[in-house]
Amino acid sequence: MLKKSMLYLFITILFIGLLSGCAQSSNEGEGKSNSGEAKTVKIGYFPNLTHIATIVALENGYFEEAFGKDVKIETKTVANGGLFMEAMATKAIDVGTVGPGPLLNFYVKNKEYHLISGAVNGGAVLVAAEGSGVEKLEDLDGKKVAIPVIGSTQDVMLRKALKDADLKAKTSGGTVDLFAAAPADTASLFIQKQVDAAATQEPWGYVLENQANGKLLLDWDKFAWGKESTNTVVAARADFLENKDLAKQYLDAHKKAVKFIQDNPEESKEVVMKHLKDLTGKELNKDEVDAAFSRLAVTTDVNEKVIQEMADISKEAGYIPSSDIKGLIDLSLLK
């Protein structure tokens, strides 16, 4: 009788243990991906107006709404596309907005990175410095032109514009000296007469015109591919895209932000100004923001022909060994 009671007790303890184990496994499964890792989406962007779609999605809570409570969102801001892609390579960023130039430069060397949506077209201009003698594109012959960073989207756009004017950068055997400088420093370079022009993104084009007496040489709809000039896109790493639910949720939030900006431009300006002030401590001038908004188009569209031409120019510049970007653009989750 005693042996039978001990057996019942052993079975009961074993059964409770199994239930406890199942419950623990279930709890551990909440907030985790298929690989067992915690669901954390690391979103990257630049603190400027051409990354407005990401900023609005963050400020309006669209990412939180799309991912749900079991997904933790981390954000990381960077100063340029090279740093963005390096952060993506080290998995400090899973997905976010970046210029197509740095993205395709990295893709040629590593097929892990993909373009999954458009974000902003335009938003970049070519401005001549006061007293530079530059009145038209052809006058850049023998001049020094500032760009944000070597290999940047504005670098590629400038090379496209120079090519149309039968000019080349010095590094490609031509006569135009490309000078890498932070956009925030370009106004000082204009005033000190250290550069003759600048290919830059907004709001820095407006700043050059109004604080350094710069002359708009090519407006956003005339610079390089014009309104089709892709300035920022959504980029994602391959392992992030493997979780299609997360990738679709990100794009749902992105599309919602794009629609909000298109329908509510004035409110969007306020959202961006608040976000950038909270982030940097600096308040943008309302006139600068108004001008920048008039020079960009927020969109999910991607002109694949323009991206290929950007790759061809990057190859000509010697930035990449090949312009074969087959597979870079994957819009399947956007549809």
| Interval 53-60 mean pLDDT | 98
Residues in the chain: 335
Give dist(CA 118, CA 127) in Å, integer: 25
Q: What is the pLDDT of residue 1?
A: 41
Whole-angstrom CA distances from 157 to 26, 101, 201 are 52, 9, 11
Global confidence as pTM: 0.82
Other Cβ atoms within 10 Å of 292 Cβ, number: 27
Q: Which of 23-27, 254-258, 328-332 comes out lowest in average pLDDT?
A: 23-27
Q: Are 190 and 134 in contact (CB under 8 A)?
A: no
Secondary element (H or E) of residue 298: strand 296-298
Q: Under a CB-based contact definition with an 8 Å cutoff, are residues 194 and 143 in contact? A: no
pLDDT band at 37 (very low <50, low <70, confident <90, very high): low
Q: Is the peptide bond before 203 cis (omega within 30 degrees of 0)?
A: yes
Share above pLDDT 90 across residues of the chain, in percent, rounded to a whole number: 73
Alpha-carbon distance of 320 to 141, in angstroms, equals 25
Answer yes or no: is pLDDT of 279 > 90: no
> Cβ(127)–Cβ(216) under 8 Å?
yes
Torsion from C-alpha of 292, 295, 299, 305, nearest 10 degrees:
-130
Q: What pLDDT, on a 0 to 100 scale, did the predictor assign at position 38? A: 55
